[in-house]
Amino acid sequence: MFFSGKSDIGKRRATNQDSFSIVTLPGGFCLLTVCDGMGGANGGNVASELACSVYTGTVKNGFDPGMTDRAALLKKAVAAANTAVYEKAASDESLRGMGTTLVSALVAPDGSITAINVGDSRMYCIDGGELRQITRDHSYVQYLVDMGQLTISEAENASIKNIIIRSVGNEEESNPDLFTLRLSEGSYILLCSDGLTNCVPKADIAAAVSAETQKELDDCAGQLISLANEGGGIDNITIILGKIV
């Protein structure tokens, strides 16, 4: 497995409130995590950094290559991250209301993946040039789509698409979704904040990744960042791109 992670402030934000982590675990496993913070001038970056750190630390401390219930460990780690952010916000008036998205994938050497998400940061798989979204946004527009009040096209262009209805740290308990899948050799995994998906059409993301070769993984990740900035750079942009080999 090969992975590349990059983060960029974009063109309109004063600070970068995204965080990401790529951690190698025993047995050839890898833990990939992206967080997109929110909550004012300082709160967003505090929330994303704290959540990412506590989450990855909890997984590292509890991980065993032979464990069968990986999903339970990821869920425990999200709960720990949620508590850390929630209590930090409660202890500091300037950080009240802060929170963060979180999307993470625990990737096994055989390509099997256990993934978890809260918020609207996404995980995609790319295989044969096809981009497939694995996670489901916890956003208001996704709720309206589910209720039949918006089409997918309308949701993608809605002015309220940045409103999320679940996050890490805003409430005493988080409510993550879990996913399991297995990727074949040559497939790609992409974790990203909405700074990418709000600025780059899905077809362009798929085309950029499909044109990648093993030696160019870092270049491909950089190209995705560039495409987002060319598309307006309206938010921080963070991606982790991986290839199953």
Residue 39 Cα distances to 17, 95, 106, 140, 164, angstroms: 9, 7, 28, 18, 13
pLDDT of 136-166, one tens digit each? 999 898 899 989 999 888 888 788 888 999 9
* DSSP string across 153-205: HHHHT-TTTT-BS--BSSSSS---EEEEEE--TT-EEEEE-HHHHTTS-HHHH
105 neighbors 32 (Cβ within 8 angstroms): yes
User: Span 2-136+166-243: which CATH code?
Assistant: 3.60.40.10
pLDDT at 192 over 80: yes
The pLDDT > 70 percentage for the chain reads 98
Bridge-based pairing state of the strands 130-133 and 122-127:
antiparallel
Phi, then psi, of 8 in degrees rounded to 5: -140, 145
Residue 42 pLDDT > 80:
no
Judged against a pLDDT cut of 60, whether residue 189 lies above it is answered with yes
* CA–CA gap between residue 173 and residue 66 (Å, rounded): 29
Q: Are 19 and 52 in contact (CB under 8 A)?
A: yes
pTM flag (> 0.85): yes
> What region, left, alpha or beta, does residue 219 occupy, with left being phi > 0 and alpha being psi -120 to 50 degrees?
alpha
Point out which residues pair with 18 in neighbouring strands.
36
